[in-house]
Amino acid sequence: MAEDRNVQDPIDEGKGKRKEKKKPESKGLRRLMLLLFLLVGVAGAAIGLQFSGVWDARPLLYSIVPKLPYVGDQLSDLMDVPEVYTMTVEERRRYELRLWEDRLTEKELSLDEMERRLKALSSDLSARKDSLELAEARIASMDQKPESEKELSEIEKADFERVVRTYQEISARRAAKIVESLDPSLAVKILRALPEDDSAKILGRMDAAKAAWLTEQLASKKR
């Protein structure tokens, strides 16, 4: 009898071991379920914020979804996760380097285009300057003639009109610098030919004494 009590039934022993094995397995399953529940909750909150417009959750989701065990690849395809988020560290470094090189190339092309435009603009301004100086020289030479010969020819009229148009097209600051260097009588003629608003802007950017003198001349001519 005593021996029977001490000898444990092999069947009962096997059942005990199976029960002991089931406990860790059930704990692991509960942890996995809890983790999945938390992930679903976080994902739901992120999606809610995304649709409400409060927060853009896509970068966070894109970085997490591909790393999920077992279902990461399928979810990535389902959510159309951009390829960059599924890359390895090395692949991402190469990708970022390629992006940086592309941006650098784009900036170089932009700088080349800007340089080309600046050259074209510089050439245009140089041509305008030469034309303006020639027209001003013709008008100035006309001022040296006697009063009886001061009637403008058709060419001189065209030159003068071109000069006036040029002063209307350029900035008031630049026009003021040019007018300050002109012969006073020519400066008065040009300012008088300009619309009052344009001549006022030019005078407002000139040396005060020079502007005052030209204003007096313009006023006296009007009388």
pLDDT of residue 1: 46
Type of residue found at 174: R
pLDDT of residue 160: 76
pLDDT of residue 81: 66
Closest-CA residue to 166 (of 197, 207, 135, 210):
135
Query: Which is it for the CA torsion 212, 215, 221, 223, positive or negative?
Result: negative
Helix axes 208-222, 184-193, angle to 10 degrees: 60
pLDDT(157) > 50: yes
pLDDT of residue 149: 41
Minimum mean pLDDT range among 19-28, 185-194, 208-217: 19-28
CB atoms within 10 A of CB 14: 10
The structure tokens listed for 193 are 């030919």
CA distance linking residue 160 with residue 178, whole number of Å? 15
pLDDT of residue 155: 58
pLDDT of residue 147: 46
- Tell me the domain boundaries of the chain: 10-86, 127-222
Average pLDDT in the chain: 73
Minimum mean pLDDT range among 48-52, 55-59, 91-95, 149-153: 149-153
User: 116-144, pLDDT tens digit by residue?
Assistant: 888 887 777 777 777 777 766 766 665 55
- % of the chain at pLDDT higher than 70: 61
Q: For residue 222, what pLDDT band results from cuts at 50, 70 and 90?
A: low
Q: Chain centroid to CA 200: how far?
A: 36
pLDDT(54) > 80: no
pLDDT of residue 55: 66
Query: Which is it for the CA torsion 91, 94, 98, 100, positive or negative?
Result: positive
Residue that wins the pLDDT comparison between 37 and 54: 37
Minimum mean pLDDT range among 4-13, 57-66, 207-216: 4-13
Residues 171-180 have a mean pLDDT of 87
pLDDT of residue 146: 47
Residues 68-97 have a mean pLDDT of 71
pLDDT of residue 120: 82
